Amino acid sequence: MIKHFLSLASLSQIDLIGLIDRAQYFSHQLKQPHQINPILTNKIIVNAFYEPSTRTRCSFEIAAKRLGAEVINFVPENSSVKKGETVYDTLKTLESLGVEAIVLRHSDDHIVEELRPLLKVPLINAGAGKHEHPSQGLLDLLTLVQEFKTLKGLKIAVCGDIKHSRVAGSLMVAAKIFGMEIHLCGPESLVPTPQESHIIKSDFDTVLPVVDAVMMLRIQLERHENLDLNPTTYHHQFGMNHRRQLMMKKNAIILHPGPFNRGVEISDEMVEHPQSRIFKQMNNGVASRMAILEWALNRSSL
């Protein structure tokens, strides 16, 4: 059976715990990369990114190479996409050429589900549309487990452009699976109305003293038309800065999926503050994506 990795919502709690445990294992292995078993030797994986990416694309490439695979970075701008080739035809071409897995990023909300029954190799969602970013969700869960040992009962504030955030989407899915509480904060027009009891719309400053983690999100200007945003005003109302850090619990942590806009949703001094785990998240991205690739391509090793 083909193992697609399309959303956290499609996985059971047992599956997710297994992936978190495996990602934790790889996070230790990465300290001595020469000892990692190259279980994906002779496999070819393609990164097909129709949107710009640094962290996700590079960490998938590093993850694949750490496991012994070869990687092709497909660049739409230099391909037959410019001649009108559809995403389906492009991916079927890559499949026909012999790749063993496709890591896809795209702006379309529904493309991964549409492609799922049409491909004969594993499809991995590297951020499609605005609903979910499941590999980011896994690395966020790993970071939280490393910090708090458990996920159940954690309270997390998510602040920023939640309406367009697939990162927030995956976190809200995971919260339901693991019994976490999510507080949505930000500009009224960018915060959706909660549909489930574990998701609460909250005032940012009011909720800061009670949450265990704060996930800061950037305003996704590329998904807006005619958005009038004053960076200084936004930072005053919703930015993570020293004043707000002092309002947090001493053991609470600051998260951000990146890229971050310094001085807008987060101040310079907060990016590498002792309570920040932003670069730890990036580090965990490689380990988490190693676990995903192993899960999709080498199930017998688990």
Instruction: Cite the active site residues.
Output: 55-56, 83, 105, 133
Q: How far apart are the first and last CA of the chain?
A: 16
Cross-strand bridge partners of residue 49: 105
The residues with which 155 forms a beta bridge, in sequence order, are: 181
Amino acid present at 266? I
Task: Report the distance separating Cα 194 and Cα 217, nearest Å.
Answer: 18
CB burial class (10 A; 0-12, 13-18, 19+) of residue 251? exposed
The rounded radius of gyration (Å) of the Cα atoms in the chain is 19
User: Nearest CA to 127 among 276, 257, 299?
Assistant: 257
Strands annotated E in the chain: 44-49, 70-74, 101-106, 123-128, 155-159, 181-185, 199-201, 213-216, 253-255
